[in-house]
Structure 1
Amino acid sequence: MSSFARYPSLQNRSVLITGGATGIGATLVEQFTRQGARVGFVDLDAASGEALAAKLAAGLSADQFAPQFLAADLTDIAALRAAVERLRAAIGPVTVLLNNAANDKRQAIEQISPEFWDASLAVNLRSQFFAAQAVMADMRAAGGGSIINFGSISWMLKQGGMPAYTTSKAAIQGLTRSLARDLGAHGVRVNTLVPGWVMTEKQIKLWVDEAAKADIAKGQCINKPLEAEHIAHMALFLAADDSAMCTAQDFIVDGGWA
């Protein structure tokens, strides 16, 4: 069994995770909780979020902090800001933000409406900026922090069939660089964590057929399933003090595909 790093600097650190109820987000919530962080997470899926929070709380000792969940629609900026305020009251001023929430709906170019386009960018791009805006005062007051924006290799691979998603994910890297410059003077690090094709339950159910497996085998240098844990291990490093001078960078975790 492999042993992975523990980060003393994450003990009692207040961490906010968006889209934390399922998939990669749920693994992030679990891994940061195991590190002893004070985790708050937001998701539109109330049932899954509440179930995850209860499951993780049941496995903790009395002196460990149970993750706090709040259901909210991150495309509603007023609701996003209100959720941050409520979670701040529960976990303390936020010094780590993981902008994980996303929706990778597929749709052909001919079928995309202005409403679909705007809705896609609202969750995949706009929510990342406004979540960062909502916590940057906490990080300035603390003298530093870490914002981890989540990108995707899909646009790097020229993947078709999802132009709204790939456009928004390409834009994340521009957002990261601009925030890193503006917030660097306050000791805030901003990086993009770029996953490959992660074998979450949703991806396996909807998209990973035999043809997809063949593409993965051909594309990845390491022909093994990319799991949510692999993404979480990089996120832990970027949130911890060990990455103190890493900012405005892209950290790709994809088995060597891109």
Structure 2
Amino acid sequence: MDQATFATYPSLKGKTVFITGGASGIGFELVRGFAAQGANVGFVDLHESNSQALSDTAVNITHEICDLTNIDALQAALTKLASRLGPATVLVNNAANDDRHNWQDVTPAYWDERLQTNLRHQFFAIQCVAPGMIAAGGGSIINMGSNSWHETGGGFPAYATSKAAVHGLTRTMARDLGQHRIRVNTVVPGWIMTDRQKDLWATPEALESQRQRQCLPDLIEPIYVVRMVIFLASDDAFMCSANNYMVEGGSI
């Protein structure tokens, strides 16, 4: 699809947007997508060289380096971004890692680390930015889920459990924050063809199996997740909250 045909949302111009895990994969495209809308984008990530290279591409992109599993460091990084850009009225909880693991080999320590990597930071990012949204009179929070557990996908029980829990987090926070006109939604990607997925798991057999599961025959590029997130961040989605928005090609 010609990306010039995608929508521009005037309500996003000049807004402050925070994104977790912005230096690679879907997060990288999210940063670029919001910057192209004229938003002021701050992102956090652990990878310094990738983060700096992305920040150097546009004057309205900046970043902080932090380990998302360290909640004090995460909240300090978001606070630093707010001091430079102003409080965020859009938060995209994107960061995650879908490493495969055999259920028989999982230890309590590994389980805890997977939930810290894929779930815990989402709540504490919300806790950090929500007061600024309340003061601003509203905002939009988009949590990244996954359809892996909808499909009863195997091979990563801690990841699937984390992503299933994202839906509960979204709905309860939508209730708690809705009175302040803060919308909270989940975007649910299918198997998205990031470079990491292509390098690690996208064998010809796996890709053909994925096509068979989807109603639509095309593999899903990251840009389509970005477009859903951008819509939910915009004022066009002003009355959308507490819901799941699927970007998975009709996968079953």
Instruction: Indicate the residue corresponding to 1:180 in structure 2.
Output: 174
Instruction: Confirm whether residue 239 of structure 1 aligns to residue 241 of structure 2.
Output: no
Superposition pairs for residues 177-256 of structure 1, below 5 Å? 177-256=171-250
> Once superposed, which parts of structure 1, at least 4 consecutive aligned residues long, lie more than 3 Å away?
none
Instruction: Indicate the residue corresponding to 2:46 in structure 1.
Output: 44
Instruction: Indicate the residue corresponding to 1:17 in structure 2.
Output: 19
Overall identity of the aligned pairs, in %? 51
TM-score, normalization by structure 2: 0.98
Superposition pairs for residues 1-258 of structure 1, below 5 Å? 1-2=2-3, 3-54=5-56, 56-57=57-58, 65-258=59-252
- Distance in 2 (alpha carbons) for counterparts of 1:87 and 1:215: 42
What whole-Å deviation, never above 9, does each CA across 1:31-88 have from its counterpart, x for those lacking one? 000000010000111111111111x22xxxxxxx420011100110000011011100
Q: CA RMSD in A?
A: 0.8
- Distance in 2 (alpha carbons) for counterparts of 1:73 and 1:109: 26
What whole-Å deviation, never above 9, does each CA across 1:145-176 have from its counterpart, x for those lacking one? 00000000000000111000000000000000
- Distance in 2 (alpha carbons) for counterparts of 1:35 and 1:121: 32
- Distance in 2 (alpha carbons) for counterparts of 1:182 and 1:188: 9
The one-letter amino acid of 2:166's match is: I
TM-score, normalization by structure 1: 0.95
Q: Contact 2:39 / 2:60 at 8 angstroms: preserved in 1?
A: no
SS of the equivalent of 2:141 reads strand
- Distance in 1 (alpha carbons) for counterparts of 2:219 and 2:113: 30
The one-letter amino acid of 2:177's match is: L
**Structure 1: gaps spanning 5 or more residues:** 58-64
Q: CA deviation at 1:211?
A: 1.8
What whole-Å deviation, never above 9, does each CA across 1:231-256 have from its counterpart, x for those lacking one? 00001100000000000000000111
- Distance in 2 (alpha carbons) for counterparts of 1:53 and 1:212: 34
Q: CA deviation at 1:120?
A: 0.6
- Distance in 2 (alpha carbons) for counterparts of 1:217 and 1:185: 42
Q: CA deviation at 1:214?
A: 1.5
Q: CA deviation at 1:123?
A: 1.5
- Distance in 1 (alpha carbons) for counterparts of 2:48 and 2:152: 34
The one-letter amino acid of 1:110's match is: Q
**Structure 2: gaps spanning 5 or more residues:** none
Q: Contact 2:145 / 2:187 at 8 angstroms: preserved in 1?
A: yes
Q: CA deviation at 1:113?
A: 1.1
SS of the equivalent of 1:158 reads coil
SS of the equivalent of 1:97 reads strand
